[in-house]
Structure 1
Amino acid sequence: MVTAVAGSGPGYIFAFAHYMTEAAKAEGLPGDLADTLVRQTLLGAAELLRADARSALDLKQAVTSKGGTTEAGLAVFEADAGLSSLCLRGVAAARARSEELAMED
């Protein structure tokens, strides 16, 4: 399980950063600005997560205004087949593959 989360986790974060950058570009931001904004947003969020004792869920709720833009985006990410479901399936697939690799040794 550790490999599925911590070992593979950086790849998940890098993929998310790539997808966010591509989405920003699709909405009209220049590539260099999209890249900078995504990187700085991830760094700032990671620093807050490190420094603040609240859970990730509590922090998410703290930055989400009722009827605001974050709430609108999260509604899509949190739909039935959204990010939560994808994370569950992705970590499970990484765990299963880790177990397969362990059996090969």
Structure 2
Amino acid sequence: HEPYNYFKGVVLDAENKPMGYGEWGRYAFLDAAAFSYPGFLMSGDQVRRLEHCPVCDRPGPVLEPEIKRAAGAEVRGCAEEVRRMLSADLSQDS
């Protein structure tokens, strides 16, 4: 579930234009609570945003559970950084 009271999520098409509910696109969001970073972010994630949760029927936007990297998007995030550091450390030990 998106915390839509201070967080505005949007799905963008290939031209970075907002798309409607139920369509696949790149995820972006505006975070009004952000003070330590710019609150306007576009992820490299390919998502489908639904108008309400299909499991609990709670109102408000929710992302479909299947999230994947957008075509051409760099692999990033904490898990990727840990993998890179471990790979570098292990290659130095050889």
TM-score (norm 2): 0.28
| More RCO (CA 8 Å, sep 6+) | 1
Richer in helix (by share): 1
Richer in strand (by share): 2
TM-score (norm 1): 0.26
